[in-house]
């Protein structure tokens, strides 16, 4: 397998990380994701890492990168399914993933993205009201 599949689920994209990441795979994932975000006008990216028993600084940086790039394209990144042991290790490593939101599982992550979309709609609605005055 050369590419990690990206699944479109409504306004969000879902990626499950199952294989060991290396440089080229991470770069390919970033490229594919940006293309899909732009192509589908996606508002959120869910990255499921429940299969990962170890998250090292390389994967931590990759997640941060994906979140930063997605943000530029107006999509929010939510990392879901992190194992408790992984969370402990990340903090011990000093990788607090400050640029990334997290949720316990895919459903909660999806709810987080949906809330953001709803908030955007309200914001746009208010703007329209004001411009109409």
Residue whose CB is less far from a copy of itself, 54 or 96: 54
List the one residue from 42, 48, 66, 112 that touches a copy of itself (CB under 8 A).
48
Residue whose CB is less far from a copy of itself, 19 or 88: 19
Rule CB under 8 A: is residue 1 a binding residue for a copy of itself?
Answer: yes
List the one residue from 75, 97, 100, 110 that touches a copy of itself (CB under 8 A).
110
Rule CB under 8 A: is residue 93 a binding residue for a copy of itself?
Answer: no
Task: Return the closest-CA partner of residue 10 out of 119, 128, 109.
Answer: 109
Helix orientation angle between 57-72 and 23-40, rounded to the nearest 10 degrees: 20
Rule CB under 8 A: is residue 105 a binding residue for a copy of itself?
Answer: yes
Q: How many CB atoms lie within 10 A of CB 83?
A: 15
For residue 85, what are the CA distances in angstroms to 15, 29, 40, 111? 21, 25, 35, 24
Number of residues interacting with a copy of itself: please give it, by CB under 8 A.
23
Rule CB under 8 A: is residue 81 a binding residue for a copy of itself?
Answer: yes
Q: How far apart, in whole angstroms, are the C-alpha atoms of residue 110 and residue 2?
A: 27
Give the containing element (helix H, strand E) for 106: helix 106-132
The contact set with a copy of itself (CB under 8 A) reads 1, 3-5, 7-10, 14, 16, 18-20, 48, 50-53, 81, 105-107, 110
């Amino acid at each position: 397998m050369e590419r990690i599949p990206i699944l479109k689920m409504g306004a969000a994209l879902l990626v499950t990380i199952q294989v060991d990441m290396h440089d080229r795979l991470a770069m390919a994932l970033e490229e594919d994701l940006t293309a899909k975000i732009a192509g589908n006008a996606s508002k959120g990216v869910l990255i499921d890492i429940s299969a990962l028993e170890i998250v090292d600084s390389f994967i931590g940086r990759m997640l941060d990168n994906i979140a930063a790039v997605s943000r530029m394209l107006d999509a929010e990144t939510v990392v879901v399914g992190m194992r408790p042991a992984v969370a402990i290790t990340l903090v011990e490593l000093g990788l607090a993933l400050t640029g990334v939101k997290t949720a316990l599982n895919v459903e909660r992550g999806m709810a987080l993205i949906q809330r953001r979309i709803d908030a955007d709609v309200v914001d746009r609605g208010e703007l329209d009201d004001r411009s109409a005055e």
